[in-house]
Amino acid sequence: MAISDPKMQDLRDMLASPPVESNDPKSIDFRKMLSNLKREAREKSKVAQCLYCNGGYTSFCNSHSIPEFVLRSIASSGMVFTTNALMKIPSLEKESGIKNTGVFRLICNQCDSDLFADYEDPFNYEKEPTGQMLAQIALKNTMKKLSKAQLVLEMQKAIWQQHNISNHITRYANESTLHEIAEVDVREYKKDFDIVKRAVKKRSDSEYRLFYFEKLDYVVPVAFQDSIRPYCDFESNVINNIIKINTRVSELHICIFPLKRSSVVFVFGENDKRTKKYRKFIKQFMKLNPDDKLATICYLSFRYSEDIYIHKNIDQSVIEDESLSRIAGMEDTCKFLPSTPRSKINAKMLEGHALSQRKEIPNLLLPKYAIVQTIQD
Ligand SMILES: [Zn+2]
């Protein structure tokens, strides 16, 4: 598997000296430039056929990386906060309309409505999700990763061609290395997609295994669905050495779904030998008390993904929380100069991914942060 899993804001680092104030005219220019780059990259990364059924279509479905009914539970006037509400990077949006949140286009309308019907039905969360629902979620997560990897590749090419950033970037890598990383990502996620597609087609309940499931009787203020590769476990044993290229990495899938009056939180993975490496991690996790399990899930979501969405009326102290902002902004990979000794890299990686950091951030899955329901029906 690839060594990178870039959060989109990493791309900002590739552009020289972004302005700091959001109302600065330069910042507006910068935002425009970034959005133009994104649009261009999106055009170039467009697929000609539905990735699932291989049908050629002129119009593709806007697939949601997280079901709309989940986002609706935490939306106010149709809007949610992105993680940039915490990080406050002037060049990125801090809120998003739920219709456009986490949208990507890889499959046709027919496939989208056939494939995800079970998992996108809120009534199916009265009890634990079935193995088939887990496979559908895994497929969606893989598609999103693939779509993002394609976009990152095209954006890297565009940025490299259009902007004089070589001095800034060659401190860490050269152009071909960066492209190689992005290309490996695209290739690996395509392979992953084929594997998950087969699992979905089988309609078997035994391809994925639910490690943890909790139904909470309140509505949590965050919505999340993604797959992650935790770097280390609770005892600082490395699980996924992300420096290694070209070995397929099994991922852990995490869902935080606020519903109308309750929430479900669950973690699952593939049901085969590839998830063996998570056995210790899961064992350590299952020994935690219920609140600490939720704290771990909250931490992992913010630490490893940018696709976590937040209720806009959340307490201001959360938005201003420096630790949460720092964790949300941390990159998956650490940048090192070529001369950095191996031992120093390992120590830094362990420090940057330490699970003990879960105790430094607000545990947004506890009842004290629950959304107070005002609408009665
Ligand atoms: Zn299709």
pLDDT digits (tens, 9 = 90+) for 219-248: 999 999 999 999 999 999 999 876 655 566
Burial class, 163, CB count within 10 angstroms (exposed 0-12 / middle 13-18 / buried 19+): middle
Note whether residue 13 is domain-resident.
no
Rounded-to-integer distance, Cα 167 and Cα 334, Å: 19
Model confidence at 9: pLDDT above 50: no
Model confidence at 8: pLDDT above 50: no
Cα of 321 vs centre of ligand 1, distance in Å, is: 43
Cα of 117 vs centre of ligand 1, distance in Å, is: 14
Report helix angle 322-329 to 290-304, nearest 10.
50
Model confidence at 157: pLDDT above 70: yes
Note whether residue 21 is domain-resident.
no
What value does the mean pLDDT take over residues 277-281? 92
Contact 277, 268 (CB under 8 A): no
Rounded-to-integer distance, Cα 7 and Cα 23, Å: 24
Note whether residue 8 is domain-resident.
no
Structure tokens at 133: 């629902």
Cα of 256 vs centre of ligand 1, distance in Å, is: 27
The pTM of the whole model exceeds 0.75 = yes
Which pLDDT tens digit goes with each residue over 60-98? 778 888 999 999 999 999 999 999 999 988 878 899 999
Q: CA-based diameter of the chain, in Å?
A: 63
Which pLDDT tens digit goes with each residue over 25-46? 555 566 676 677 777 777 776 7
Cα of 46 vs centre of ligand 1, distance in Å, is: 15
SS3 299: helix
376 confidence band (pLDDT: 50, 70, 90): very low
Cα of 50 vs centre of ligand 1, distance in Å, is: 5
Rounded-to-integer distance, Cα 306 and Cα 337, Å: 25
Note whether residue 74 is domain-resident.
yes
Cα of 115 vs centre of ligand 1, distance in Å, is: 9
Cα of 48 vs centre of ligand 1, distance in Å, is: 11
Report the domain count for the chain.
1
Note whether residue 14 is domain-resident.
no
Note whether residue 271 is domain-resident.
yes
Q: Which domain holds residue 167?
A: 27-369
Q: What percent of the chain has pLDDT over 70?
A: 79
Cα of 344 vs centre of ligand 1, distance in Å, is: 48
Cα of 109 vs centre of ligand 1, distance in Å, is: 7
Cα of 65 vs centre of ligand 1, distance in Å, is: 17
Cα of 98 vs centre of ligand 1, distance in Å, is: 24
Note whether residue 6 is domain-resident.
no
256 confidence band (pLDDT: 50, 70, 90): very high
Which pLDDT tens digit goes with each residue over 41-65? 777 767 778 889 988 766 677 888 8
What pLDDT sits at residue 164? 53
154 confidence band (pLDDT: 50, 70, 90): confident
> Which residues have C-beta under 5 Å from ligand 1, the single-atom ion?
50, 52-53, 55, 108, 111
Cα of 52 vs centre of ligand 1, distance in Å, is: 5
